[in-house]
Amino acid sequence: MTMGEKTDKTPRNLKEEMRDYKEKLLEVSRKASRCGRSLKQREGEVRDLQKTLTKLVTLTELSRILNSTLEPGTVRRRAMQAATELMEAEVGSLLLIDEETNQLYFEVALGDKEEAVKTFHLKMGEGIAGWVAQHGEPLIVHDAQSDPRFFRDVDKKSKFTTKNVVCVPVKVKEKTIGVLEAINKLDGGAFSEEDLSLFQSLADQVAVALDNARLLTEIEELFFQTASCLADAIEKRDPYTGGHTKRVTTYSLAIAEQLDLDAEDIRWLKLASILHDIGKIGVEDKILRKPDKLNEEEYDQMKQHTLMGAEIIGHIKQLHWIIPGLKYHHEKVDGKGYPEGLADGYIPLIAKIVAVADTFDAMTSDRPYRKAMLKEEAFDELRRSCGTQFDKVLVDAFIKAFETGKI
Ligand SMILES: [Fe+2]
């Protein structure tokens, strides 16, 4: 095949590639065991065996990464690292198409020039990657510098020299959503037809992983928006709490960021913040909408919203992680809160965070029977209540988030 000529090989899947490598492995080991070979021949066969073994291990690793439940960004990066290793290339990139601008941007660009490379956006048809994206066909370029499609600006800015390239489209249901490219075969070698075929099968697997991640994100967004609508509908019954849920969620997430909680905990905290008062659906209008302070009996009824919220969500087994946030967000660290009067060490973190966020918003919002406090007054009140109502670490984190402009 000449420089830049496209392949007509049909891409195969990873399983087929792995089967081929296993067969090659067996063949080489059979050859190596035959007698009468010269030492030089044997050395070559052992090198082939090692190369094939390395490819097999990398393929297995890549398949594991793509099927893992890691965060999508991490999956893309690790997959690209394994793919570059498999291609025996100096660097590799994953470029995706921005549907709004119809341009390619670097989602992953391996190597120490990543920051410089990521500032580039390629027009459709621009450069080798743009050509592959536009035509939806794979390409090997053996001498990039003399190829008219080569886009020099990326090299100039990143002070890198592109010698040869293998580039394949990433397609979801026949639609090109991006490209994978591996640049500069190591040891001055050339990319082969075998490389191209293998790279294309990897790209097909990457496409499946990317599409799964997109679907997951969409489902998750739909779920959070549905939960927010539900909370909003309940909030609408109470004329004094407009926007409360959104603010409590913002405050809780700001505390979580200060505490450096992991992504999974933040996800549950976000949902608990959105749904923390869902139990108010079971509180009578005359109590919920009462413009004056509640009497003791009414207050007792209002307190039930914590248990009712926990009961409602208790029917959804996948959401059991957020129940403590709903049930215990009115507990106090001195044990004088409700519904169970739990003391500090027994109150779950998720509930303690929602408590700070919820109380701050209540203090800084107008009520019919009192005016809203200024933020500074509310901060002082939170500080005064450390050790009785709130956990000091969380109050400090919350105030710091405000002071550093995170809220
Ligand atoms: Fe509440």
Cα 295 to chain centroid distance, Å, stands at 47
- DSSP sequence for 280-322: GGGS-HHHHT-SS---HHHHHHHHHHHHHHHHHHTT-GGGGGG
Cα of 242 from ligand 1 centre, angstroms: 14
Cα of 353 from ligand 1 centre, angstroms: 13
Spell out the residues 6+ positions from residue 199 whose beta carbon is closer than 8 angstroms to its own. 83, 86, 87, 138, 166, 168, 180, 182
- Residue pLDDT, tens place only, 329-387: 999 999 999 999 999 999 999 999 999 999 999 999 988 888 999 999 999 999 999 99
Cα of 262 from ligand 1 centre, angstroms: 25
Cα of 392 from ligand 1 centre, angstroms: 20
- DSSP sequence for 35-71: TT--HHHHHHHHHHHHHHHHHHHHHHHHHHHHTS-S-
Cα of 221 from ligand 1 centre, angstroms: 24
Cα of 360 from ligand 1 centre, angstroms: 12
Report the predicted TM-score, pTM, of the whole model to 2 decimal places.
Answer: 0.71
Cα of 397 from ligand 1 centre, angstroms: 21
Cα of 406 from ligand 1 centre, angstroms: 24
Cα of 329 from ligand 1 centre, angstroms: 6
Q: What is the pLDDT of residue 29?
A: 66
Cα of 313 from ligand 1 centre, angstroms: 15
Cα of 224 from ligand 1 centre, angstroms: 19
Average pLDDT, consecutive stretches of 10 residues, N- to C-terminus, the chain (407 residues): 43 68 71 62 76 77 76 82 90 94 93 82 94 96 93 84 96 94 93 91 88 88 94 86 92 98 95 97 92 93 97 95 98 98 97 98 90 96 98 98 92
Q: Closest Cα to residue 253, out of 387, 406, 382?
A: 406
Report whether the peptide linkage leading into residue 239 is cis, meaning its omega lies within 30 degrees of zero.
no
For the chain, how many residues are written?
407
Place of tokens 């709004």: 100
Cα of 114 from ligand 1 centre, angstroms: 47
Contact (CB, 8 A) for 166 and 196 = yes
Q: What is the pLDDT of residue 32?
A: 62
Q: What is the pLDDT of residue 330?
A: 98
Give Cα separations from 277 to 121, 158, 230, 248, 329 (angstroms). 45, 52, 11, 11, 9
Query: What is the C-alpha to C-alpha distance for residues 225 and 233, in angstroms, rounded to an integer?
Result: 12
Cα of 306 from ligand 1 centre, angstroms: 6
Alpha-carbon dihedral of residues 52, 57, 61, 67, nearest 10 degrees? Answer: 70
- Residue pLDDT, tens place only, 172-201: 999 999 999 999 999 889 999 989 988 998
Query: What is the C-alpha to C-alpha distance for residues 70 and 148, in angstroms, rounded to an integer?
Result: 40
Contact (CB, 8 A) for 283 and 301 = yes
Cα of 330 from ligand 1 centre, angstroms: 6
Q: What is the pLDDT of residue 59?
A: 78
AA identity, residue 138 = P
Beta bridge partners of 170: 178
Give Cα separations from 379 to 160, 247, 360, 384 (angstroms). 53, 16, 8, 9
Cα of 257 from ligand 1 centre, angstroms: 22
Cα of 318 from ligand 1 centre, angstroms: 22
Q: Closest Cα to residue 225, out of 158, 274, 181, 277?
A: 274
Measure the CA angle with vertex 110, ends 104 and 111; round to 5°: 130
Cα of 354 from ligand 1 centre, angstroms: 9
Cα of 300 from ligand 1 centre, angstroms: 13
Q: Where would I find the beta strands (DSSP E) of 121-229? A: 121-123, 139-141, 165-172, 175-185
Alpha-carbon dihedral of residues 202, 186, 93, 118, nearest 10 degrees? Answer: 170
Neighbours of ion ligand 1 (CB under 5 A): 277
Token pair of 61 as six digits = 């690793």
